[in-house]
Amino acid sequence: MRKIFTLMVFLLTLSALIFGTTSCKSEEDKIRDYADPATETTLKGLSENSLEKYTQYGNDAFKAALTQELFDATTSQINSQLGAYKSKEFLSYEEEEGYIIVHYNAKFEKTDVGIRMVFDENHLIAGQWFE
């Protein structure tokens, strides 16, 4: 009986350790869960000249600030200078005035460039800058 009790305590402790460590995500992981796919879709939308894809994860202000004409001019300039979007690499993040700013290194056909993505409290894109 004592062996069974000891075995049960051991198994409960082991399962608590296993499930406890796998369910605790770092703040960076939580941010990347929404920032990485949103950034990927946004950069693909820019490269593919798709306003719908580009603004898919944007907040209302981000969408309202962008007309089709402005988007066309921007994509033309970006695609001619950088080429087609290839991939991105997460660099870091910071919090500022209620926003999460995520820094990436983006690889394009012709060159690499820094990208700064700004997310609001709802995890939606509020801004994007090329650095």
The SS3 call for residue 26 is coil
Q: Is position 67 within any domain? A: yes
Residues 4-42 have pLDDT tens digits of: 444 344 444 544 444 554 558 999 999 999 999 999 999
Structure tokens at 99: 């926003």
Q: Is position 16 within any domain? A: no
**Global model pTM greater than 0.85:** no
pLDDT in the model for residue 14? 43
Identify the CA nearest to 125 among candidates 41, 58, 53, 64. 58
- CATH code of the domain containing 120: 3.10.450.590
Q: Is position 114 within any domain? A: yes
Number of domains the chain is built from: 1
Q: Is position 101 within any domain? A: yes
Q: Is position 30 within any domain? A: yes
71 is in which domain, residue-wise?
Answer: 26-130
The SS3 call for residue 48 is coil
Q: Is position 3 within any domain? A: no
Residues 60-109 have pLDDT tens digits of: 999 999 999 999 999 999 999 999 999 999 999 999 999 999 999 999 99
Q: Is position 1 within any domain? A: no
Q: Is position 46 within any domain? A: yes
